[in-house]
Structure 1
Amino acid sequence: MVRISEDLIRRRAEHNNCEIFSLEEVSLHQQDIERIEHIDKWCRDLKILYLQNNLIPKIENVGRLKKLEYLNLALNNIEVIENLEGCESLQKLDLTVNFVGRLSSVKSLSQNVHLRELYLVGNPCTEFEGYRPYVLACLPQLQWLDGTAIGRAERIRAGQDIDGLRGRILEQEAEYVEKREKQKGLAHTHTGVDSSISEEDPDIWKQRPNPESPPTQNLHTDVSSHSTDTLEEREFWEKPCAFTPESRLEAHRHLEEKRRQKEKMREPNSKTKPPRALVTAEGRVLNINEAKLDFSLNEDEDNNCVLLDLHVYRHLDTSLLDLDVQPSYVRVTVKGKVFQLVLPDEVKPDSSSAQRSQTTGHLLVTMPKARGEIKVHKTDKPKPLCNTATDNGKARAISGCERLEVDPSKGPTVDLANIVSKENYTTHGPLHLCQRLQPCGGQEKPVSKQFLDDPEVPPLI
């Protein structure tokens, strides 16, 4: 019995970075699952759920999926439509080729007000008289049934005689339930074909299809064409049986048992392939590329390191990569396949780093060299803006710079000795008056007779 495990869902959620809590779509088809469990607790945001081609006998543990919009349960062993009332957003339900015989259970979908499409093709209930009008009367929200659009006139006719239609459906359903009880008893006793059932419904009993044999197998074919099959194997597949959930489960278990026997017979005779040698007996490391990936190996002299660009598949999950850096070689395991490359120089494994490109998915491994120094970038010395050399006081252009040179004797230096002109001599100096100030007009102003020259008073400037 295959169980739904956390590891199984994570492996199916690679498109969501293996995160299951925020998962919106998961495909669990063809996994031989026999029970729905844990999904409603682990994937609350699920919108699309694929469970077709399994061995599920009952719809359960999906009522908490409030956001579920599409549920595919085709090719399973479901007999009753139930436990879907909690799927408030359900829009499409596929129950193709199951064993739904209790057509009255379709009324449980009336609470799914957003349900637009329903598929019941290949179920026993589709053979009931009045099957389609009954479903339309029970589910007025449907727009498509078994891939056929529902018209307004057809819906009105289905609701006109709902009471009589319900009675006929219940009678046929009771007959089917009685038949199923006999089939279950026959499956438990394993007594062979019941003649009473075969007379009532001879179409039930059919030759069990052998998936390993050609579809157009003739019973009178030469025995040599079936030499690979044992007598018991032919008897099992040629024995008539009813198409029931029990017979389908029995055929599945028979195939599993046969597969296990083949594996046991193959184990002693099979020769295990010796593992590929990564290092020779002399200790020489080999260059290996089992994954057949493109790569480029370069040396970055400025940063004194070795760069490996491995062209890993773009959508490959990083958890499937295993990197091992050694002083003389680097090894990358991609989904169990080894890529090993000898390095041109010794590197430092502890200082190495690796990262993946978000656009191409390539793996870039940076490995610093163990020897040598990091080279400093040499920058050119800045050229002088100008040269102060002069040539007879003339301007001279040097290195693209031009400056006008003048006589140093006529520079902007201050001559403190001649700061005051000798011609404009003032009386600023000793206390005694040496010279009379000349008036602006050039004539000397006569001194008043009453003027007394006080030597203690400083002269006016």
Structure 2
Amino acid sequence: MVLISEDLIRRRAEHNNCEIFSLEEVSLHQQDIEKIEHIDRWCRDLKILYLQNNLIPRIENVSKLKKLEYLNLALNNIEVIENLEGCESLQKLDLTVNFVGRLSSVESLKGNIHLRELFLVGNPCTEFKGYRQYVVSSLPQLQWLDGKEIRRSERIQAGQGLEAVRQRVLEQERAYLERRAREKEEAQGRHKKEEETAKERKPGFDGRWYTDINNTVPVSEENKENQEKPDTEESRSGPHTDDQDKEFWEKPCAYTPESRLEAHRHLEEKRKAKDRERGKDAKAKAPRTLITAEGRVLNVNEPKLDFCLSENDEENNIVLDLAVYRHMDTSLLDVDVQPTYIRVTVKGKTFQLVLPAEVKPDSSTAKRSQTTGHLVVTMPKAKGEVKAKTRVPCLSRPLQNGDVPAEKTRKLKGPEKLEVDPSKHSGVDLANIVQREKPTTQGPLKLHQVVQAKCQCEDFEDDPEVPPLI
């Protein structure tokens, strides 16, 4: 029995960010649901509800859905139309291929003044004489019945002789209900008989099932080994053989809610038996060998991802570019770098690659591309030199058409050396063009030496007592 749970509704509410309190539409079809529950409390704003192709026997727990406009209950086991008075906004009701035999129950829809479409195709009540006339006259708000429009002339004709039609429908309804009571009793008796038979049946020495316990069957020499084998789970459960399955489906029976449930249970048991057999036949998968007994590391690519392994001599490292799925969450990745190999686990599947040189695991880095989703792992080599990058010199002016870059004209045979001998310096020393005076400081004040210029005139006499001119 499948129950309507909160988790089930949230999984069906992906279009609403898995929020159920503001949900307006939900589809719960083909879930083998046997009872409507919790929806009226969890989804008060629901407007469209799909419950077709389930095993629901009654319409219940939907009266609080005031905003419900469309209810689909096709292909279920419903026998009575009820408990829909509270659905004030109901406009369309689909009860196709159910077991509605009490046609008078459609009068419970009179309070649903907004109801415009009703589908009762495939129900026993549609075989009653005067069925359409009775429904059209009972529900004046209807505009479509079983996909056919109700015209004004048809509505007028349905009102004529209504009492006679009503009496005829009620008589057919009583006859149908009596027949349904007998079908229920037969189904209950058949179910009890099957339970008693199942208790008495025991597997024989040849694997077959026998109902007579006291009947002794001679054991042949070929079957002695099978008789000595212990009782297994398969023999206890009594799997459905092809003959039993054929007999079940070829056995004539009436189309009733009980027969529909019986067919569903038969299919469910058959499916479980196949699952058990499949589980027995499937051998335990041996774990994949990543490292041999001799210690040799193997290359493994279980997720079947494209990758690129390259060496960067300038930076002295090894780079692995693994084409991880773009939309896969990073939490599903696990990177393990070892000195001689790298192992990446992608959603439980192992990718392992042997490295061409020994690396430093502690200095390795792993990054994920935000555009492509690729995983880039940079692993520094344990041995080797880090070569300096060749830098392009900056030019003070742009190159002209006749100029040639300096790096093309000179060929360096070794590293460049700084020139320290000033005699070999051919350029102009801009720092020594203007000679700076050496200041003499005394406390916070700076006193500059006064340079007295001697006059070159012949008649000039230097008198030390005369103060200098400022």
TM more than 0.5 = yes
- The answer (yes or no) to whether the contact 2:110–2:138 under 8 Å persists in 1 is yes
- The answer (yes or no) to whether the contact 2:306–2:322 under 8 Å persists in 1 is no
Taking every aligned residue pair, what percent have the same amino acid on both sides? 60
For 1:451, the equivalent position in structure 2 comes to none
**1:144-155 maps to which residues of 2 (within 5 A)?**
144-155=144-155
For 1:332, the equivalent position in structure 2 comes to 346
Q: Which runs of 5+ in 2 are unaligned?
A: 193-239, 398-470
> Could you state the TM-score of these two structures normalised by the residue count of structure 1?
0.60
Q: Distance between the aligned counterparts of 2:291 and 2:165, measured in 1?
A: 79
Q: Distance between the aligned counterparts of 1:163 and 1:230, measured in 2?
A: 55
Per-residue Cα deviation, 1:316-342 (whole angstroms, up to 9, x for no partner): 8x69x7233445554332xx7x37476
1:331 partner SS: strand
- Partner letter of residue 96 of structure 2? T
Q: 1:370 to 1:40 in 2, by over 3 A?
A: farther
Structure 1 position 86, deviation (Å): 2.1
For 2:301, the equivalent position in structure 1 comes to 288
1:163 partner SS: helix
Per-residue Cα deviation, 1:206-250 (whole angstroms, up to 9, x for no partner): xxxxxxxxxxxxxxxxxxxxxx95443333222221111011111
Q: 1:116 to 1:380 in 2, by over 3 A?
A: farther
For 1:66, the equivalent position in structure 2 comes to 66
Report the RMSD for the aligned CA atoms in angstroms: 4.1
Structure 1 position 32, deviation (Å): 1.4
Q: Distance between the aligned counterparts of 1:91 and 1:298, measured in 2?
A: 67
- Correspondence 1:114 to 2:114: yes
Q: Distance between the aligned counterparts of 2:64 and 2:354, measured in 1?
A: 56
- Correspondence 1:251 to 2:251: no
For 1:132, the equivalent position in structure 2 comes to 132
**1:82-97 maps to which residues of 2 (within 5 A)?**
82-97=82-97
Q: 1:130 to 1:309 in 2, by over 3 A?
A: same
- Correspondence 1:266 to 2:278: yes
240, 253, 274: which is aligned to 2:252?
240
Q: Distance between the aligned counterparts of 1:280 and 1:74, measured in 2?
A: 60
Per-residue Cα deviation, 1:120-157 (whole angstroms, up to 9, x for no partner): 11000000111112111222222221111221211222
- Partner letter of residue 130 of structure 2? G
Q: 1:308 to 1:182 in 2, by over 3 A?
A: same
Per-residue Cα deviation, 1:289-312 (whole angstroms, up to 9, x for no partner): 53x67789999x99x998866444
Q: 1:326 to 1:139 in 2, by over 3 A?
A: farther
2:253 partner SS: strand
Q: Distance between the aligned counterparts of 2:364 and 2:119, measured in 1?
A: 60
Q: 1:353 to 1:252 in 2, by over 3 A?
A: same
Q: 1:351 to 1:12 in 2, by over 3 A?
A: farther
Per-residue Cα deviation, 1:230-284 (whole angstroms, up to 9, x for no partner): 4433332222211110111111112222222333333333323335556766484
Per-residue Cα deviation, 1:434-460 (whole angstroms, up to 9, x for no partner): xxxxxxxxxxxxxxxxxxxxxxxxxxx
Structure 1 position 346, deviation (Å): 6.9
1:184 partner SS: helix
- Correspondence 1:29 to 2:42: no
For 1:216, the equivalent position in structure 2 comes to none
- Partner letter of residue 257 of structure 1? E
Q: Distance between the aligned counterparts of 1:67 and 1:369, measured in 2?
A: 61
Q: Which runs of 5+ in 1 are unaligned?
A: 193-227, 385-461
1:273 partner SS: coil
Q: Distance between the aligned counterparts of 2:297 and 2:149, measured in 1?
A: 71
Structure 1 position 75, deviation (Å): 1.0
**1:199-218 maps to which residues of 2 (within 5 A)?**
none
For 2:56, the equivalent position in structure 1 comes to 56
1:176 partner SS: helix
2:332 partner SS: strand
Q: 1:157 to 1:262 in 2, by over 3 A?
A: same
Q: Distance between the aligned counterparts of 2:142 and 2:373, measured in 1?
A: 51
- The answer (yes or no) to whether the contact 2:34–2:56 under 8 Å persists in 1 is yes
- Partner letter of residue 130 of structure 1? G
- The answer (yes or no) to whether the contact 2:68–2:90 under 8 Å persists in 1 is yes
Bigger radius of gyration: 1
Q: Distance between the aligned counterparts of 1:88 and 1:366, measured in 2?
A: 60
Task: Count residues with an aligned counterpart.
Answer: 336
Structure 1 position 383, deviation (Å): 6.4
Structure 1 position 53, deviation (Å): 1.3
For 1:322, the equivalent position in structure 2 comes to 332
For 1:399, the equivalent position in structure 2 comes to none
- The answer (yes or no) to whether the contact 1:92–1:118 under 8 Å persists in 2 is yes
- Partner letter of residue 32 of structure 1? D
- Partner letter of residue 38 of structure 1? H
- Partner letter of residue 24 of structure 1? E
Q: Distance between the aligned counterparts of 1:250 and 1:339, measured in 2?
A: 46
Q: 1:311 to 1:124 in 2, by over 3 A?
A: same
- Partner letter of residue 98 of structure 2? N
Q: 1:42 to 1:323 in 2, by over 3 A?
A: farther
- The answer (yes or no) to whether the contact 1:75–1:98 under 8 Å persists in 2 is yes
2:175 partner SS: helix
- The answer (yes or no) to whether the contact 2:305–2:323 under 8 Å persists in 1 is no
